[in-house]
Chains A and B, each alone.
Chain A
Amino acid sequence: MEQMRKERIDRGLKVRTEGLYAISSYREILYLMGPRLLLIVGVLALPFIFELAPYWKRVINIMFVYALLALSFDFLANYVGLVCLGGAFLTGVGGYFSAIYNVYLGFPFYLAIPCATISGAVLCTLCLLPCLPLRGVYFAIVTLMYPLLFTRIIEALDIFGGTNGITGVDGFPNQYVEHYIIILVVIGFLFGMRRFVNQDIGLVLRGVKDNDQSVKASGIDITRMKVLAVFVASLIGCFGGAYMAHLYMWAGISLFALDFSIIPIASVVIGGGGTLVGAVIGSFILVPLSEILRAFGTFRIVIYCVILTGFIVFKSEGLMIYMQRKYHQFERWVKV
């Protein structure tokens, strides 16, 4: 029997290296723009597609919040080499800040959210500062611990409404504002981060992941670079939290729930680490899935785990990397 093997050939668009393309026709422009436009248009159209299903429109909002958290995790883990298990820390801090600005200080939501995003990111960065000069698992452990710590502090000291949380946070004026704020921010952060990691400063961050010793020997303070990276990632996460406080019109300790740490990580696994867009796609799959599975009660965890395990075993590279490869390369069977 003749042996066959699959041959993969790059399309002739790439010039010499990743990220440089030679475009000579509209077809090729469309070929490169197509997937990106599809994503943007699809995402913008989502609220209209689900116009008649108010429950699912709610799910869409949450889905985008998880997309932001997954983006933040993917950036830190795959571009800077810091594994952050504390997505919940970011949402909690962002959410509480926004509620405080809105309820206690009377800021309107369009002022409270940006202020909360920035001050939340500053607080998160300060909290994580002590473990940034260290190498190893310390960062992961500390980020996992902070949401628990903050929950207990709020409970024990009975501050910010204690276990009841801060009620009476302003909602959004109408549901289109509600949808499009988060959708536009997700698109903005997605394409912004993609650009950021390919800038010179982004390359330095990627250098920190690959070989921090060598970055040090190049005369760059890696702690400072990590601080910058954590700040950027915290901005993304805190925005998600601040948005949720206004979405639920309430900020409580459930903003520190473990879900916000775990689901983004699972999304990145499914979507494909290091692609950024994969993180977003992953949460588009996982969050609706867990809503559908809600009908099964606690049994949904089992189904959820089976799907995740399946992905890790059979497609450990993640959906996006697989799809990008299929899209960018011809495949054909040739004789060995």
Chain B
Amino acid sequence: MSEEPILSVKGVSKSFGGLKALMDVSFDVQRGEVFGIIGPNGSGKTTIINCITGFIKTQTGHVYFKGKEITGWKPHKIADAGIARTFQIMRPYYSLPAYKNLIIPLWSPRARKTGGWRGGGKHGDRDTVAVDILEEIGFERDSRVPYKLSSTLPTGYQKRLELARCMALRPEIIFCDEVFSGLSMSEIAGMLPLIEKMRDEGITLIMVEHRLRELFRVATKVMALNFGEKITEGEPSFVIEDKRVREAYLGAEGV
């Protein structure tokens, strides 16, 4: 490939005590891709996100973002560089209303640098920008929803709020840790266009997902993990046909 990958992971390993969570995982993500990471429970999907975004330290291996090594950086520094992430277990800032949740990312150094919040004048204050972002992500501006305490929001909105928090940073890469899990079919149907919109805006998306059908609708490339090892990588249609992927999901006898 001629273009330099926006994110390049080389030989990342991580073990918790005796448990090897990741073994020598390497992959490249090109700019503008929707990169899916799939695998059965405990295969290390979330661990690899935590390793890349600095929430846990990798033991071996290197992570490069736009050609620059970011291995071992602090999480806030990685986010500041342009890699945002959602959390699998959504924990909004419970004591704040939904729109006030976005003040925190909008206050961050990155948002000030990238123009996520330009400040003052015709752009209004952070509250205005926050409501704008929420509207983009599917909160009805004139309803009560954006002003409700975030702890009282339904799951679908809390997931959207997680995405909105990432969007406020104007990142180059967003890691989505199971954004579809726990949502009803209609809520997922509402989320998919958002994902597509982000992709169209040129944000590189890396999605960890259990819901394969929905993932394969948007993903351009998929990597499969099992027991911390990379099994295969490629086009969604290629990966789903792979024998080892089927074995991993269904168990050896199931095939």
Residues in chain A within 8 A of chain B (CB atoms): 16-18, 200-201, 203-204, 206-207, 209-211, 213-222
Contacts and interface: CB of A to CB of B under 8 A. Distances in A.
A201 B147 contact: no
A279 to B, nearest CB: 17
B95 A206 contact: yes
A20 to B, nearest CB: 8
Interface string B125-137: 0100000000000
B84 to A, nearest CB: 7
B12 interface: no
Contacts of B233: none
Nearest to A18: B97
Contacts of B79: 216-219
Contacts of B110: 219
Contacts of A16: 144, 147
Given A216-B75, A219-B76, A221-B76, A204 B103 contact: yes
Nearest to B93: A210
B95 to A, nearest CB: 6
B76 A214 contact: no
A217 B76 CA distance: 6
Contact of A218 (B74, B95, B108, B147): B108
A185 B248 CA distance: 66
A218 B101 CA distance: 11
B76 A210 contact: no
Contacts of A213: 55, 75, 87, 91
Q: Chain B CB within 10 Å — which of A16, A206, A215, A218 has the most?
A: A218
Contacts of B109: 219-220
B144 A204 contact: no
Q: Classify the secondary structure of A's interface with B.
A: helix
A203 B97 contact: no
Given A17-B148, A210-B92, 16 more contacts: A16-B144, A201-B107, A203-B96, A206-B93, A207-B101, A210-B95, A213-B55, A213-B75, A214-B92, A216-B76, A218-B84, A219-B80, A219-B108, A219-B169, A220-B76, A220-B104
Contacts of A207: 93, 96, 101, 104
Contact of A204 (B55, B77, B104): B104
Contacts of B221: none
Given A18-B97, A210-B96, A218 B103 contact: no
Contact of A203 (B55, B100, B111, B165): B100
The 3 lowest CB-CB distance pairs between A and B, nearest first, are: A219-B79, A17-B147, A218-B105
Nearest to B166: A217
Q: Chain A CB within 10 Å — which of B91, B100, B110 has the most?
A: B100
B53 interface: yes
A221 B111 CA distance: 14
B27 interface: no
Contacts of A200: 103, 106-107, 126
Contacts of A210: 91-96
19 contacts: A16-B147, A17-B147, A200-B107, A200-B126, A203-B93, A206-B95, A206-B96, A211-B94, A214-B92, A214-B104, A217-B55, A217-B84, A217-B87, A218-B105, A218-B169, A219-B76, A219-B108, A219-B109, A222-B76
Interface in B52-89: 53, 55, 74-77, 79-80, 84-85, 87
Interface string B217-237: 000000000000000000000
B89 to A, nearest CB: 10
Interface string B2-37: 000000000000000000000000000000000000
Contacts of B85: 217
Contacts of A219: 76-77, 79-80, 105, 108-111, 169
Contacts of B55: 213, 216-217
